[in-house]
Amino acid sequence: MTLTTMTDLHDLHDFIRRLPKAELHLHIEGSLEPEMMFELARRNGVALPYASVDAVRAAYDFTDLQSFLDLYYAGAAVLQTEQDFFDLTMAYVRRAMADNVRHAELFFDPQTHTVRGVPMATVFAGIAGALRQARADHGFSSRMILCFLRHLPEADAFATLDAALPLRTEYADLWIGVGLDSGEVGNPPEKFAGVFARARELGFHVVAHAGEEGPPAYVHGALDVLKVERIDHGVRSEEDPALMQRLAQSRMPLTVCPLSNLKLRVVKDLRDHNLARLLRAGLCVTVNSDDPAYFGGYMNANFVATADALALSSKEVVDLARNSFLAAFVTEDERRRWLDELQAFSA
């Protein structure tokens, strides 16, 4: 590497760190750092199957999505009180603001908590309390997207939506959508056609994980049956040329999570990741951290690692940030403000 390219790289990293951006694919439970996992376990008297913070980190050697989910659900058991959800969310917001994230749309999984006896209202109050405080204190913008766990039956998703609906008015400033996450393979979008139709009738935005480990047919299903407005992941769309054309023409946003794909072995090496190819094929690609505590990095770590591995230009980095604001579920005034900021920053 020449001195010039090293300087260029340093400049690009600095540029990325200061770049205004939005995060659209973040599971708040997946931002639970091992230190907080232990702190909350102690506070709540929960026994963890790990002796130390280091032992938890050592368990982060995942082989696939399911091996991660097993640890993720074990860790989530420490989340019990409104204060726990508040602390978890505030810790994420601080990390996001440090990365110059202006707006974040947080996924949350009520079923992971209600099954343990945590009331739906506790989950909402804790997360929303932190987001409202961050908005009041720092102008940090956010929304909440309630996700259904796809390895469970659709009837459970209906019950979850019904249990959350009485809270809708109280959290109208934040809860704007529903999503679909957890183990993808064997749980196609069609399984949730009914509950997504209901959510759309109620006026919610709808998104779904598709084409992470599942085939391109799941992306078609998410578009045609669930009628989603964004695809979460979607990287396997590349295997279907007609689907690629459709995604490019419609500018359907893809919330891509590079370090997640690496950690869960969707790709063996970040240099093999198709993010740059998807972007250069005209798709509305965004960069996101997914479950940052488990996958080795928050927003800027994802941007920097991807820019290095795929030799992204500064223009492409700006395009990724612009896409994140274009794909956000916000008012046109908010969108215009961030796009103007981005324009001024990159000029």
Active-site residue set = 212
Work out how close the CB of 339 gets to Zn ion at its nearest, in angstroms, rounded to a whole number. 25
The CA distance from 97 to 137, in Å, is: 12
DSSP single-letter state for residue 265: T
Q: How far is the CB of 179 from Zn ion (least distance, A)?
A: 9
Quick one: 80 or 89, whose CB is closer to Zn ion? 89
CB-facing half-sphere around the CA of 175: CA atoms within 13 A: 25
Q: For Zn ion, which stretch binds (CB under 5 A), given 193-201, 243-251, 283-291, 318-326?
A: 283-291
- Of 257 and 342, the one with the shorter C-beta distance to Zn ion is 257
CB of 24 to Zn ion, least distance (A): 10
Which residue is at the shortest CB distance from Zn ion? 290
Size of the site for Zn ion (CB under 5 A): 1
The token duo for 315 is 């223009």
What one-letter code names the amino acid at 9? L
- Pairwise CA distance, residues 33 & 195, whole Å: 32
Interaction of residue 290 with Zn ion, rule CB under 5 A: yes
* Residue ranges of E strands in the chain: 21-27, 101-108, 141-149, 175-181, 205-210, 230-233, 253-256, 284-287
> In sequence order, what DSSP letters do the residues of 72-113 get, joined into one string?
HHHHHTT--SHHHHHHHHHHHHHHHHHTTEEEEEEEE-HHHH
Contact 289, 302 (CB under 8 A): yes
Determine the longest span between alpha carbons in the chain, in angstroms.
Answer: 61
CB of residue 74 to Zn ion, shortest distance in Å: 18
The tokens for 273 are 């990741």
Q: Determine, following the binding rule CB under 5 A, whether residue 99 of this chain makes contact with Zn ion.
A: no
| Residue 91 contacts residue 104 (beta carbons within 8 Å) | no
User: Does residue 23 belong to the site contacting Zn ion (CB under 5 A)?
Assistant: no
Contact 61, 294 (CB under 8 A): no
Nearer to Zn ion by C-beta: 208 or 284?
208
Question: In the complex, what is the shortest distance from the CB of residue 36 to Zn ion, in angstroms, rounded to a whole number?
Answer: 20
How many angstroms separate the CA atoms of 287 and 22, rounded? 9
Nearest by Cα to 96 from 29, 146, 142: 142
Q: Which residue has the tokens 């726990």?
A: 84
Residue 312 burial (CB < 10 Å; 0-12/13-18/19+)? buried
Nearer to Zn ion, 23 or 290 (CB): 290
Beta carbon of residue 257, minimum distance to Zn ion (angstroms, whole number): 6
- Cβ proximity to Zn ion: between 126 and 211 the closer is 211
Query: Least distance to Zn ion from the beta carbon of 56, Å?
Result: 20
Q: Write down the H helix ranges in 22-81.
A: 34-44, 53-58, 65-76
Residue that is written with structure tokens 């909440």 in the block:
144
Our CB check for Zn ion shows the closer of 82 and 290 to be: 290
Nearer to Zn ion, 175 or 295 (CB): 295
Q: Site residues (CB under 5 A) for Zn ion? A: 290
